[in-house]
């Protein structure tokens, strides 16, 4: 099994949603830790409906959901025997992970699990080798062996009681080599794929938020990038700042065209509702993705040197067709291709599904500086309605 060319929904949800600030609100806003942990007595997500979450992901063309089982605050969103700091001891008293797993199975969506290595509640969770340890307890008496046993027990629950798990998303590298943790995960879930933020190298890389703008070649190993719809948070934030459609779709297009998968995050509120503002932004991205999906999902990187003038692009190929991804848009209403294998039988703009006119001709602004002559014939694709699609990547399909 591989994680490649797939689109998924990341969901950050926990006690922190009650603060309406951010998933790490307790440290970012210097909240009283004791008072923060008392939120367990107020957390009662009466409107949580996992079917709605899963159907939303499916409607957006997504293949899987990655759910935060435990974030840095240590609060567990499942029925765990190894700490009282869990969803069963809230007024809600229901295993939300079990409910979500059931809905994922019902609608054919894969389920991935996020698990934070930092733990600000477990008495022996402090790890001086790692980061994000600001609120760890008992810093003067760390006991990594006890904590590793705790993690093993919890991972065993997560990978035994919730059906087939697609990927395991450790968060914050421990910087301690404990290969037995991944070995345990693979023993319990033989087909699981594990990321690189855990206790050893793992199976796939996880660039977050941004990535190298200069990379135009396929990823050398399996890759899953992630970003949030929100610029300032992953968990629910009431007064938030949201990325533009152009920024998100450009990121998704580039990552997936290079062979990576992409997780786009939403943060449900304390009642378990993905609010309309998140749905609005998801819909903008999904409208573009559903038109573009044919050029990304299960497509291969096309390394043919098309020598396209004046525009950055990545090419993919699938079923005898080439897809030119102009992830930053186009600078004009035409594309000039100097090197092409043969004449296409059809050229189409995926953004609207319509055919584009093309010809082979001399283009006078592309010339030989020594002779002044036009420097040869180009495959010239023109009358592209670029201004109509300025806020999303332009993708052109060439049928050879």
**Torsion region of 172: left, alpha or beta (phi above 0 gives left; psi -120 to 50 gives alpha):** left
Q: Classify each residue of 222-231 as buried b or exposed e, where b means 16 or more C-beta atoms within 10 Å of its C-beta.
A: bbbbbbbbbe
Q: Is the pTM of this model over 0.85?
A: yes
Q: What integer is the mean pLDDT of 174-186?
A: 98
**Torsion region of 354: left, alpha or beta (phi above 0 gives left; psi -120 to 50 gives alpha):** beta
Q: What integer is the mean pLDDT of 149-176?
A: 98
How far is the first Cα of the chain from the last one, in angstroms, to the nearest whole number?
31
On the CB side of 277, CA atoms within 13 Å amount to 14
Is the pLDDT at 6 greater than 90? The verdict is yes
Distance CA 324, CA 333 (A): 15
At 342-357, the pLDDT tens digits run 999 999 999 999 999 9
- Which segments of 232-273 are extended strands (E)? 261-266
pLDDT of residue 142: 87
Residue 264 sits at the vertex; the CA angle it makes with 262 and 267, to the nearest 5 degrees, is 155
Is the pLDDT at 213 greater than 70? The verdict is no
Could you say which architecture CATH assigns to the domain 300-399? Sandwich (2.60)
Closest CA to 77 of 93, 91, 97: 97
Which residues are within 8 A (CB) of 80 and not within 5 positions of it... i.e. 6 or more apart? 86, 154, 157
* CATH 2.60.40.1180 boundaries in the chain: 300-399
Which residues make beta-bridge pairs with 381?
335, 358
At 131-145, the pLDDT tens digits run 999 999 999 988 999
Distance CA 313, CA 161 (A): 45
Give the β-pairing of 7-11 and 261-266.
parallel
DSSP notation for 348-390: EETTTTEE--EEEEE-TTSB-TTT-SB--EEEEE----GGGGT
Which phi and psi (to 5°) does residue 261 adopt?
-95, 165
* CATH 3.20.20.80 boundaries in the chain: 7-295
Distance CA 133, CA 118 (A): 6
Is the pLDDT at 211 greater than 70? The verdict is no
Token pair for residue 283? 């819909």
Q: What integer is the mean pLDDT of 240-266?
A: 97
H or E stretch covering 291: helix 276-292
Mean pLDDT of the chain, nearest integer: 97
Is the pLDDT at 335 greater than 80? The verdict is yes
Q: What integer is the mean pLDDT of 70-76?
A: 98
Token pair for residue 226? 């992630």
Four-point Cα dihedral 359, 361, 367, 370, nearest 10 = 150
Fold of 7-295: TIM Barrel (3.20.20)
């Amino acid at each position: 099994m591989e994680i490649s060319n797939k689109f998924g929904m990341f969901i950050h949800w926990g006690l922190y949603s009650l603060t309406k600030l951010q998933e790490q609100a307790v440290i970012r806003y210097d909240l009283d830790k004791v008072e923060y942990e008392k939120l367990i007595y107020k957390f009662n997500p009466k409107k949580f409906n996992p079917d709605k979450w899963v159907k939303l992901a499916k409607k957006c063309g997504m293949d899987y959901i990655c759910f935060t089982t435990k974030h840095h605050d240590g609060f567990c969103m499942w029925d765990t025997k190894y700490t009282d700091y869990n969803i069963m001891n809230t007024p809600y008293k229901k295993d939300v992970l079990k409910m979500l797993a059931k809905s994922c199975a019902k609608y054919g969506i894969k389920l991935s699990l996020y698990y934070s290595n930092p733990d600000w509640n477990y008495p022996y969770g402090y790890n001086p080798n790692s980061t994000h340890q600001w609120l760890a307890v008992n810093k003067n008496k760390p006991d990594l062996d006890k904590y590793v046993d705790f993690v093993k027990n919890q991972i065993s629950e997560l990978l035994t009681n919730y059906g087939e798990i697609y990927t395991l998303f450790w968060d914050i590298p421990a910087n301690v080599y404990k290969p037995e943790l991944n070995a345990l995960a693979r023993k319990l879930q033989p087909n699981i794929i594990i990321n690189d933020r855990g206790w050893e190298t793992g199976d796939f890389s996880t660039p977050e938020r941004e990535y190298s703008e200069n990379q135009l070649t396929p990823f050398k190993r399996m890759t899953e990038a992630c970003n949030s719809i929100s610029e300032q948070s992953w968990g629910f934030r009431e007064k938030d700042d949201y990325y533009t459609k152009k920024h998100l779709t450009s990121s998704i297009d580039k990552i997936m065209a290079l062979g990576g998968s992409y997780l786009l995050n939403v943060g449900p509120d304390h009642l378990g509702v993905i609010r309309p503002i998140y749905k609005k932004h998801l819909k903008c991205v999904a409208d573009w993705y559903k038109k573009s999906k044919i050029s990304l999902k299960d497509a291969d990187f096309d390394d043919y040197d098309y020598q396209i003038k004046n525009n950055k692009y990545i090419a993919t190929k699938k079923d005898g067709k080439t897809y030119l991804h102009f992830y930053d848009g186009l600078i004009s209403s035409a594309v000039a291709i100097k090197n092409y294998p043969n004449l296409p039988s059809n050229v189409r703009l995926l953004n609207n599904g319509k055919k584009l006119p093309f010809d082979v001709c001399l283009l006078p602004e592309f010339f030989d500086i020594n002779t002044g002559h036009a420097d040869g014939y180009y495959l010239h694709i023109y009358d592209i309605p670029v201004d109509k699609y300025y806020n999303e990547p332009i993708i052109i399909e060439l049928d050879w």
